[in-house]
A and B are shown apart, each in its own frame.
Chain A
Amino acid sequence: MEKTLTIRNLSVSFSTSNGTVRAVRNVDLDLYKGETLAIVGESGSGKSVTVKAVMGITSNNQTIESGSILYRYEQNENWTERELLKLTHNEMRQQINGTHIAMVFQDPMTSLDPTMTIGMQLMEGMMHHLHLSKQAARKRALELLELVGITDSEKRMRNYPHQLSGGMRQRVVIAIALSCNPDILICDEPTTALDVTIQAKILELIKEIQEKTGISVIYITHDLGVVAKVADYVAVMYAGRIVEKGTVDDIFYDPRHPYTWGLLSSMPDLSIDNSERLYTIPGSPPNMVNLPAGDPFAPRNQFALEADYKEESPTFKISDTHFAATWLLDERAPHVEMPVSLRRRIDAMKEGGVSHA
């Protein structure tokens, strides 16, 4: 399997009037060709900042403190490597964004231009990046609209964004992202602003396109149900750090980090009855300015060891694909099992005996 994106030791910080916010801390991630990586975390965990660094979207008060983002792509049967963090803003825009790495944002209403027709917005990128003629771009735009499941594409080309429903708009945004044949599609909470029924359709659409074109996809989400549906690999982020990563099976059937346990347990299971209380992670996400010493998750962690309050745990390797950053995996740590209710749920899932509506 070919690696297309390698992020190593990435740290990003923001200077604010209250102090420095270390939004992303020592993140390592790999993306393989044709596969889907999901980054899960709460707001402020640094998941968006990580992918925005890949896209070269920076704000004025942001500094990349360390790290490398290596992007490899195939051109005329040769593999070419580029270090994305070394490129200038203009080089990113002209050579990488759109043609190699494209992004779909959360809210389709704000990512489309309300004063341009759908057709123009679709053709713009192709005419600029791929130097297509207007006729050729138009022909391809029609194909793209069909690919994303919009019927009546001739008519839709002349529509303005406000004439379409939310689901339709997000389809158009996806079509625009795909227009210049990118290798990597980054979806930042692509379905959060949409209804469940439309969410399911959009996720199925992206999966279908991935099978047809073989692109790699990075999803950002906080919904573990979405992760279960789309992901091959999962990275769980907390307070700017990847606390656990592994294949989707590793994370859902053999989670090791207490935060992952908490996330999985607090999802309401359709099979539980109403008298049971929902499991909750106590407390709230930490303030990222002046993080306390030790593991930022420790105050919310019922399994926290003394070591957690003193020093952050290194990342331990569990298998070739599965890593977690918790002192519980240290050989000196006491043996701690995941909560019983979660154990039971996972056992039930493994047997496939869970009945779903």
Chain B
Amino acid sequence: MPEHLLVVDGLKQYFQVSKKFTVKAVDGVSFYIDDGETYGLVGESGSGKSTIGRSIIRLYTPTAGKVTFEGVEISGNMGANETRHLRTRMQMIFQDPMACLNPRKKVSDIIAQGLDVHHLCKSREERQEKVYRIMEKIGLDREQANRYPHQFSGGQRQRIGIARALVMEPKLVIADEPISALDVSIQAQVVNLMKDLQKELGAAYLFIAHDLSMVKYISDRIGVLHLGHLVETGTTKDIFEDPIHPYTKSLLSAIPIADPHVEKKRVAIAYDYATSGIDYTKGTYHEISGTHQVLCTDDELAYWQS
């Protein structure tokens, strides 16, 4: 079996709110990402999709479970070598381009911060060259390197966020809703840019979003999250053409279609976990085909497929 780039096995992330109450934000999620592919993580707010991204890159310490990145375990206590490995080989793009850039730093220093921290450049010239090259790739001018974040528009700032992540030449980029704060006409630009850069640099993406039509466009494989459980995972084709889980079906039916004749008559399929009688903790992963897995019990699967 070829080794996967990232393997997440039984990841749990609990947050203790008070002595009596613990939020189980992520409750036993397993998936993997291969070199150079895009894995889309979708689900409603509160489903734990952002938490998973943050646990993997260790903004949180996972409660339980194992995360292996390029053969190195990064979920437990990390030594200096593991930390350095994680911090240089994995990067993150954040949702809000207004909030994620330090307003008091020049764009060139923001982009080069990772290089500086890890002493990845031998000379000033090399550092400058790297910054200029990545700025060119994301479509900004050299002259703009000495400007501050507030002098850029939302779309440009998100490009800077992308440049900052990709200048480190990471193997994996965690993109946490990178386009949901942008205007419609800018969203398509950023998605195209991310796709082009992936082709050029060969990084894998963990693409977290709630907009299914964009996720379909960018992802090779998709995982559907609900209430901290990965209810269904498979290739983009598996999920869109042969959804099994009722939650996936309801998500797909809720995507608005820009065709008034179709859209006016369509009613979205409702799904309510409380009344559906499904218990995620009882289900196990059932394989539908080689890549397509659903979380359910035997009876549920038989019922959904009938």
Question: Footprint of B on A, CB under 8 Å?
Answer: 42-43, 166, 195-201, 204, 222-229, 231, 248-249, 252, 262-264, 266-270, 272, 274, 277-282, 284-285, 349, 352, 354, 356-357
Instruction: Give chain A residues whose Cβ lies under 8 Å from the Cβ of B257.
Output: 225, 228, 270, 356
What string of 1s and 0s marks CB contacts (under 8 Å) between B37-74 and chain A?
A: 00000001100000000000000000000000000000
A-B pairs, top 7 by smallest CB distance, nearest first, are A225-B256, A200-B268, A195-B44, A228-B263, A200-B254, A281-B185, A278-B188
- A225 contacts B255, CB within 8 Å? yes
Cα(A263)–Cα(B241), bound, Å: 26
Shortest distance in angstroms between B25's beta carbon and chain A's nearest beta carbon?
16
The interface residues of chain A lying within 8 Å CB-to-CB of B186 are 284
Given the interface contacts A195-B44, A279-B188, does A228 sit within 8 Å of B254 by beta carbon? no
Bits for B237-275, please: 1 = Cβ < 8 Å to A, else 0: 000110100000011111111111111101110110000
B113 at the A/B interface (Cβ < 8 Å)? no
| B250 and A197 contacting across the interface, CB-CB below 8 Å | yes
- Given A278-B217, A284-B153, A224:B258 Cβ within 8 A: yes
> In the complex, A352→B265 CA distance in Å?
13
CA distance in complex: A278, B267 (Å)? 27
Q: Which of B218, B243, B254 is close to A199, meaning CB atoms less than 8 Å apart?
A: B254
- Mark each residue of chain B from 87 to 123: 1 if its CB lies under 8 Å from any CB of chain A, else 0: 0000000000000000000000000000000000000
Cα separation A248 to B261 with both chains bound (whole Å): 10
| B236 sits at the interface (CB 8 A) | yes
Cβ contacts A to B, 26 pairs, < 8 Å: A42-B185, A195-B45, A196-B212, A197-B251, A222-B183, A224-B256, A225-B256, A225-B263, A226-B256, A228-B256, A228-B260, A229-B264, A231-B260, A268-B213, A268-B216, A269-B213, A270-B216, A270-B240, A270-B255, A274-B216, A280-B185, A282-B189, A285-B153, A352-B262, A357-B240, A357-B253
Q: Which residues on the A side are within 8 Å of B218 (C-beta)?
A: 274
> A13 to nearest B CB, angstroms?
22
Beyond A229-B256, A267-B258, A274-B236: 12 further Cβ-contacts under 8 Å? A196-B255, A197-B268, A225-B255, A225-B263, A266-B188, A278-B217, A280-B185, A349-B261, A352-B261, A354-B262, A356-B257, A357-B253
* From A166, A222, A272, A356, residue with most partner B Cβ within 10 Å: A356
Among residues of A, the one whose C-beta sits closest to the C-beta of B195 is A277
Contact count A vs B, C-beta below 8 Å = 131
Whole-angstrom CA separation of A43 from B98 in the bound complex: 15
User: Within residues 149 to 194 of chain B, which ones have a CB less than 8 A from any CB in chain A?
Assistant: 153, 155-156, 183-189, 191-192
Q: Do A200 and B256 contact each other (CB < 8 Å), given the known contacts A43-B183, A266-B184, A277-B192?
A: yes
Verify B216–A196 contact, CB threshold 8 A.
Answer: no
The contact string, 1 if C-beta is below 8 Å from chain A, for chain B 209-251, is 0111110111000000000000000001000110100000011
Seen from chain B, the residues whose Cβ lies within 8 Å of a Cβ on chain A are 44-45, 153, 155-156, 183-189, 191-192, 195, 210-214, 216-218, 236, 240-241, 243, 250-264, 266-268, 270-271
Q: Which of B192, B211, B271 contacts A278 (CB 8 A)?
A: B192
Known A197-B254, A270-B240, A274-B217: A349·B188 in contact at CB below 8 Å: no
Q: Which residue of A lies closest to B190 (CB)?
A: A280
**Within 8 Å CB of B45, what residues of A?**
166, 195
**Chain A residues whose CB sits within 8 angstroms of the CB of B254 once the complex forms:** 196-197, 199-200
Interface-centre pick from A42, A196, A199, A231 (highest chain B CB count, 10 A): A196
Q: Which residue of A lies closest to B265 (CB)?
A: A229
Residues of A contacting B264 in the complex (Cβ-Cβ under 8 angstroms): 228-229
Q: What B residues does A43 contact at CB under 8 A? A: 183
Interface contact A252-B185, CB-CB below 8 Å: no
Interface contact A223-B256, CB-CB below 8 Å = yes
Assembly CA distance A241 to B221 (angstroms) = 42
CB distance from B152 to the nearest CB of A (A): 10
Give every chain A residue within 8 A of B217 (Cβ-Cβ).
268, 272, 274, 278
When distances are taken between beta carbons in the complex, the residues of chain A under 8 Å from B268 are 197, 200-201, 204
> Nearest chain B CB to A48's CB is how many angstroms away?
14
Contact partners of A42 in chain B: CB under 8 A: 183-185
Q: Once bound together, how far apart are the Cα atoms of A268 and B185, in whole Å? A: 11
Question: A252 and B184 in contact (CB under 8 A), knowing A200-B268, A229-B263, A357-B241?
Answer: no
Residues of the B chain whose Cβ atoms lie less than 8 Å from the Cβ of A195: 44-45, 210
Measured CA separation A279–B184 after assembly (Å): 12
B44 nearest in chain A by CB position: A195
- How distant is the Cα of A356 from the Cα of B253 in the complex, in angstroms? 9
Closest to A352 in B: B261
Q: A196-B251, A357-B241 are in contact. Are A228 and B259 (CB under 8 A)?
A: yes
Query: Are A252 and B192 in contact, with the CB atoms below 8 A?
Result: no
- Shortest CB–CB separation between residue B249 and chain A, in angstroms? 9
Contacts of A269 in B (CB 8 A): 213, 258
Query: Measured between C-beta atoms, what is the minimum distance from B137 to chain A in Å?
Result: 16
Q: Determine whether the beta carbon of A357 is less than 8 Å from that of B260.
A: no
Q: Which residues of A contact B270 (CB under 8 A)?
A: 201
| Contacting residues, chain B, for A270 (C-beta < 8 A) | 213, 216, 240, 255, 257
Bound Cα distance from A264 to B184, whole angstroms = 10
Contact B191 A278 (CB under 8 A): yes
CB of B185 within 8 A of CB of A262, answer yes
* B189 cross-chain contacts in A, Cβ below 8 A: 280, 282
Q: Which residues of B contact A264 (CB under 8 A)?
A: 258
